[in-house]
Amino acid sequence: MPSMKTNNPQLVKRILMTVFGVSICGLSVGLFSYSDLGLDPFQVFAHGTWSLTGIGFGTFYMLLNIVQLIVIFIVDRKKISLGTLINLFLLGYMAEFSEACLVRWLGPSVDHALWFRVIVLAVGVVIMCLSTALYFTADLGVSTYDAIAIILDEKKAIKIKGRPVPFKYIRIGTDVICVIIGGLLGATVGIGTVIAAFFMGPLIAFFKKTVAEPILRR
């Protein structure tokens, strides 16, 4: 993780990449939700458990991440940095705000044809992959959920026949668990969920190589 000293010439750029990445990630969550074709795996879990409460989603999302933050602080506090805190306090409210704006400007998603909702979902997938690539590359800490798979991978905590399970499979596993729990609690599971769980990795890698890393090198 890069130094947070004020004389770090790239610090401002990394902070901007983190803030922008988390902000548009919130927008992508709003697009997923508005499409009504399935949320991304962690949001399936978050929306499912949120349905058991009576508070706003932004506030609930922050509280959910605080719980994860405490666990990560105990297990590997090095994964917690500025980006983690920005994600914790910003993403949920951005998701709530963006979906409210979409409903206000475009009306309820059920009023639109399937092809329109598919386009909304596709835009959400692209934005989510781009945003993830940006704040991963900024390297100022990741979201509490992203940190779970990263820590399990780095600590070689999951093995099959003595061989450590690669990160991509660990992430698929955590995503599937989130989908099962959230789906059982009533959150929307659909084609968007499947795409997010199994096919976003290559897109994130593509944006990391072609967009995020070149920005950081300039």
Q: Which tens digit of pLDDT belongs to each residue from 165-215?
A: 888 788 888 988 999 999 999 988 999 888 887 777 788 888 988 999 999
Report yes or no on 4 lying in a domain: no
pTM to 2 decimals?
0.79
Residue 71 in tokens:
């666990």
Residue 151 clears pLDDT 50, i.e. is over it: yes
Report yes or no on 46 lying in a domain: yes
Report yes or no on 1 lying in a domain: no
Q: Which helix (H) or strand (E) holds 130?
A: helix 114-138
**Number of structural domains found in the chain:** 1
Report yes or no on 8 lying in a domain: no
Structure-model confidence comparison of residues 182 and 2, the more confident one: 182
What pLDDT is recorded for position 123?
A: 94
Residue 193 in tokens:
């969920």
What pLDDT is recorded for position 155?
A: 86
Report yes or no on 123 lying in a domain: yes
Report yes or no on 3 lying in a domain: no
Average pLDDT over residues 145-156: 86
The percent helix, strand, coil of the chain (3-state, each to 5) is 75, 0, 20
What pLDDT is recorded for position 4?
A: 52
What pLDDT is recorded for position 6?
A: 46
Question: Burial letters for 29-53: b for 16+ Cβ neighbours within 10 Å, e otherwise?
Answer: bbbbbbbbbbbbbbbbbbbbbbeee
Q: Provide the β-strand partners of residue 159.
A: 164
CA distance 218 to 213: 9
Domain ranges, residue 65: 13-217
pLDDT band at 8 (very low <50, low <70, confident <90, very high): low
CB under 8 Å to 146, separation ≥6 — which residues?
132, 136
Q: What is the CA radius of gyration of the chain?
A: 17
Specify the DSSP class assigned to residue 190.
Answer: S
Comparing C-alpha atoms, which of 217, 196, 195 is closest to residue 208? 217
CA distance 182 to 42: 8
Question: Do 128 and 94 form a contact (C-beta atoms < 8 A)?
Answer: no
What pLDDT is recorded for position 60?
A: 92
Report yes or no on 197 lying in a domain: yes
Report yes or no on 2 lying in a domain: no
210 vs 125, 164, 207, CA distance in Å? 17, 29, 5
CA distance 150 to 137: 14
